[in-house]
Chains A and B, each alone.
Chain A
């Protein structure tokens, strides 16, 4: 099982949209995929019509029960082949209750190991702050996707994220591969274009060569509780995520994209 985490210490940059879109595309391609909602706000959980206020088996169970059975907490979501480990607002208390108890950063990695034969991919949607849950995701993942909105302030936040990743890589005693995904890009604005140029100049091949464009249809899809790639596969946003997935799967994420696709995004 390949594990991808989607994280940024800044909120509102498209983390959940990225997790949902890639998850749905993978499932549609025949890969059994597990989405894991690690954000106590439960955006991903709510996206699929589940109530984060409700109690029930989910990510919280893994931390609350010493012998939690990770094989029993998934719920199926659409499309077929996609499953979800739900978040609950109770997860907001984990940091206070568990602090940095030694080893607690490895709970998720061990839980995912229990279900490694059931899914080809797991995608972890992280909270926008560094803490127990994000550290669990960073410890468990093979690849980190960092969605970054192409605007000036988001770039500043990325520097902080970069420092964090260096430290996590040291602590987990394994390199942490990560790729920046430019999101919410509006090529009609000078600020957006300049921010994207600065991002590429500063981070080079760390930056995926496509962009996820601003697309109002993402909001429609969210209201419908479906991935945009399911609701409107030909929408600009859907095509951009399909291109991202293709590049991630082929390892060609830093390959220059054909100008036509870049222009259409």
Chain B
């Protein structure tokens, strides 16, 4: 059973030592945080389309949506084809990934150019064909999926609207690895 204590009111007492021992227990398994209270079990997401496929990006991870500029800074030599270049934003040069070309099987991505960019919180910017309105996906409307080796970024599949639900932190890590670059420069 999970013990839940707080430091408040414990200072100076033996309770504080127990509280600290619990928190710093190396043997304890990592427990996921329960869904936020009042969240209504719904996921606020922005559905974007790329290569004819919908991708639901958690709204919390979306920093900005902007039209694609006519030119991007050139990607590094030897970068994968889906790495379109770099966008200077907020004083930083952020890598731009063609969402469809990066994530969909070869031949499914369709041809660019992608007219919209979605900047994720963090560093990646995703190029896509269309940006829809924000939606609230009911938890039961998504077939959730355990992180897999092939598509670690795929958190689940939504039925209405049909979309691949993206885990943005895993997507960023996957793009980092696939681009063969660190966080500082792509």
Residues of chain A touching chain B, judged by Cβ–Cβ distance below 8 Å, are: 32, 55-58, 61, 63-69, 71-76, 78, 83, 90, 93-107, 110, 118, 129-132, 135-136, 139, 160, 163-164, 167-168, 170-172
Contact = CB atoms under 8 A, between A and B. Distances in A.
Given A72-B168, A102-B23, A171-B21, A78 B91 contact: yes
Contact of B6 (A32, A61, A75, A99): A99
B7 A72 contact: no
B121 A56 contact: yes
Interface in B1-58: 2-8, 11-12, 16-17, 19-34, 36-37
Contact of A66 (B11, B22, B32, B176): B32
| Residue among B20, B60, B171, B184 with most chain A CB within 10 A | B20
| Residue among A90, A93, A97, A101 with most chain B CB within 10 A | A101
Contacts of A94: 33
Interface of B: 2-8, 11-12, 16-17, 19-34, 36-37, 59-61, 63, 91-92, 120-123, 147, 168-173, 176, 182-184
A213 B26 CA distance: 41
Nearest to A132: B23
28 contacts: A32-B184, A56-B60, A56-B122, A67-B147, A68-B169, A73-B122, A73-B169, A74-B123, A78-B91, A90-B36, A96-B6, A98-B4, A99-B3, A99-B4, A100-B7, A101-B28, A102-B3, A102-B27, A103-B24, A104-B28, A104-B31, A107-B30, A130-B7, A130-B16, A139-B23, A139-B24, A167-B17, A167-B20
Nearest to B25: A102
A96 B36 CA distance: 11
Contacts of B27: 102-103
A36 B183 CA distance: 16
B20 A71 contact: no
A164 B7 CA distance: 11
Nearest to A68: B169
Contacts of B168: 57, 72
A164 B6 contact: no
A-B pairs with lowest CB-CB distance, top 3:
A103-B28, A105-B23, A99-B4
A131 B184 CA distance: 33
Contacts of B36: 90, 93, 97
Contacts of A58: 121
Contacts of A71: 172-173, 176, 183
A101 B4 contact: yes
Contacts of B30: 66, 103, 107, 110
Contact of B183 (A74, A96, A139): A74
A168 B91 CA distance: 40
Given A65-B32, A118-B182, A135 B4 contact: no
Contacts of B24: 103, 105-106, 135, 139, 168, 171-172
A64 B5 contact: no
| Residue among A130, A168, A172 with most chain B CB within 10 A | A130
Given A75-B122, A100-B4, A163-B12, A135 B182 contact: no
A167 B20 CA distance: 8
Contact of B23 (A64, A73, A74, A104): A104
A62 to B, nearest CB: 10
Contact of B33 (A55, A97, A102, A118): A97
Contacts of A95: 6-7
A118 B183 contact: yes
A98 B7 contact: no
A164 B11 contact: yes
Contacts of B16: 130, 164, 167
A55 B58 CA distance: 10
A96 B8 CA distance: 11
